Structure 1
Amino acid sequence: SDLSAYLDEYLSVRSRVSENTHNTARAVTARFKCFLTTVGIRSISELNIKVLDDYIDYLDLAPNTVHNHLKELKIMLRRAVADGLLESNPAEHVTLPKIIKKDLHRMLEPIDLKIIFEGANSYKLYFEFLYYTGLRAGDVARLTYGDIDFNRNSITCLIRKAKRFHELPLAKELLVQVKQGKKEDPLFPALYAVTERKLNDNLKKPRLYMQALLQAKGRPKATLHSFRTTFNNTLR
């Protein structure tokens, strides 16, 4: 079977799933086609473990991306087996590069906190809420004035991951900075969002800002979740 024609047919099928699925498949098959042209393979029957191992070596990409490429090829070749074009799926036996997990959510050291808070600007109060409450970045971004009980000096908020409300004390460092407002108004209007997608988009800004501060001082990369890690290890 002509491999190029089969790849085009596969792309057509993947477009039925979703636009994102089709875009991913298109990117993978385009790179795979370039490789096949380079090594002179035209028929699907020529695909074997060695060819796919060579393709993995050909990809000049991060290990995570290589894994994603192979995942798409596995789906495609599984279909080829079902169509009777291959006896078995060679992608099932390919040797992949090892993914080394980085400690991105590392604990923030005193020097990191000094760098972040001194350069935080408009994100200072948001970063302080992360640091003194140990709440997740999205939960803090969704706080409203109605979540703060000034009489009890506490916060009552919905913990999205656990899907339950939780009350925790509000540190004096935060109390002195928060003024009373309308219950429905968000504490951080620039970050607040109803949908998860919009919330994640909004959280990119303080995350990238914090990472730029650390990078400028030669410090290791960290994430907004690093505040929670720090809280759990030192402040609780």
Structure 2
Amino acid sequence: MAFLQKRYNDIWYLIDKSGGKPKWIKLGKISKAEAKTVKSRYEIDQTYLKLDIQSDSRITFSECSTEYLEWAKTHKASNTIRTERLIFQVLSRTLGNRRLAAIASEDYELFWKRLKPNSIRLRIAAIRALYKFAILRKYVRKNVGLDLKRPSIPLLPPRHVDPKLIEKALSIMQPRTRAKFEILYYTGMRPSEVLRLKTNDIDIDNRKITVRYSKTNRFRVIPMHSKLVPVFKEIFASKNGNEYLFPGLTHDHQVSMRDGLRKACERADIENLTPYCFRHTFATTVLEKTKDIRAVQQLLGHSTIQMTTRYATALDYRLR
């Protein structure tokens, strides 16, 4: 038997007396209707456990998230893992002992009533990734994260950086790090696309770079800037047989470019410079010189022209 109680500072608690000794579960500052919803879900979950219903695995949220984070160590970037771990720690305080298959989308939505849209989108992405992993492990049959509605956020114009600032950052980087960012700066590729480049994607003789793995799953060929020819030749001269240009220690390829950039920015006293700034600066520079928005769309690998028009907006704003 479970019942609700509202205590200090308008905080709701769920008290479960079915096991003899009362079990107190803190729900937080939520409305009475929301507290009743949690109580109803909790009672259904407990009924499933008593009847031993095996339609889905009985793995709990805490158990699955722990297993997922262990798996992520060899499949995801360290920054992503750090963010997801913090999100799961907060969720586990209330949902940790509940069966993953019995948690509904409404239960998750209680956790971000007062959060900003970007924070909500981060949490939804983490939950969707967790359920995707759980489906592959056959712990659940449905991705509840897909029922969570992501709040819309305004698309801001991409940030153009003064090329002199980028050149300053490049001059301070270590050779291996500089190679990655030079490719980023002279092609406009996404950071993940640069890190996934393989030896057979580079055609120095015909000055072409083939992008096979992209965010939009679109195959494209990019012309090679003359300044990248010596960069690729140096990479090939120092390769040790790995098919990736930038092999990782725990992954087949490196998964993040932020650490190398952060160290260079600290030495050069540069603030607010991210890997995507190199891509944005490339796009606005090409658009300013060619005035051909379709060509920029193809170079960047955008699936729609609407995404590329953001660079035209940024260029107009910069030229005012």
Common fold, TM-score beyond 0.5? yes
What does residue 255 of structure 2 align with?
A: 203
Give the letter aligned to residue 232 of structure 1.
A
Quote how far apart the aligned CAs of 1:223 are.
2.0
Q: Cα RMSD (Å) of the superposition?
A: 4.8
1:27–1:114 distance in 2 versus 1, CA, 3 Å: same
CA distance in 1, matches of 2:188, 2:249: 18
In structure 2, the CA distance between the partners of 1:191 and 1:161, relative to structure 1 (3 Å rule), is farther
CA deviations 1:99-151 (Å, max 9, x no partner) are x9997963222342133112110301111000001111111111122112222
- C-alpha change, 1:157 and 1:124, in structure 2 (3 Å) is same
Whether 2:65 is the aligned partner of 1:20: answer yes
Distance change in 2, residues 1:16/1:68 (3 Å) = closer
Structure 1 residue 170 and structure 2 residue 224: aligned? yes
Matched, 1:144 2:198: yes
Q: Is 1:188 paired with 2:246?
A: yes
1:222 and 1:105 mapped to 2: Cα distance? Answer: 13
Supply the distance in 2 between the matched residues of 1:26 and 1:169 (Cα, whole angstroms).
Answer: 46
Which residue type is aligned with residue 19 of structure 1?
A: C
Tell me which moved more, 225-234 or 154-163: 154-163
Distance in structure 1 (CA, Å) of the matches to 2:155 and 2:268: 19
State the Cα distance separating 1:176 from its structure 2 match.
2.2
Flag as ranges the 4+ runs of structure 1 deviating above 4 A: 8-14, 21-26, 28-31, 100-105, 180-184, 191-194, 215-218
- TM-score normalised by L of structure 2: 0.43
Q: Deviations over 1:173-215 (max 9, x none)?
A: 1112322578972222248955xxxx6xx333x3122134335
Q: How many aligned residue pairs are there?
A: 180
Structure 2, unpaired ranges of 5+: 5-13, 16-22, 27-38, 47-57, 68-84, 95-109, 128-152, 288-320
Kindly indicate whether the alpha-carbon contact (under 8 Å) linking 1:131 and 1:228 is maintained by their aligned counterparts in 2: yes
Aligned match of 2:142: none
Most deviating of 218-227 and 130-139: 218-227
SS at match of 2:219: strand
Q: So what's the TM-score if we normalise by structure 1?
A: 0.55
**Alpha-carbon distance in 2 for matches of 1:224, 1:191:** 21
User: Quick one: which amino acid aligns to residue 229 of structure 1?
Assistant: H
- Supply the AA of the counterpart residue of 1:214: C
Change (3 A) 1:211 1:15: same
* Amino acid corresponding to residue 109 of structure 1 in structure 2: D
Amino acid at match of 1:149: D
2:172–2:267 contact (8 Å) kept in structure 1: no
Between the aligned partners of 1:29 and 1:189, the Cα distance in structure 2 is 35
Shift of 1:232: 0.7
Cα distance in 2 for partners of 1:192, 1:158 equals 22
Give deviations 1:30-65, integer Å, cap 9, x for gaps: 49xxxxxxxxxxxxxxxxxxxx9xx989x9x9x837
Aligned counterparts of 2:227 and 2:273: Cα–Cα separation in 1: 23
- The question of 1:64 aligning with 2:116 is answered no
SS at match of 1:7: strand
> Among the aligned pairs, what percent are the same residue?
24
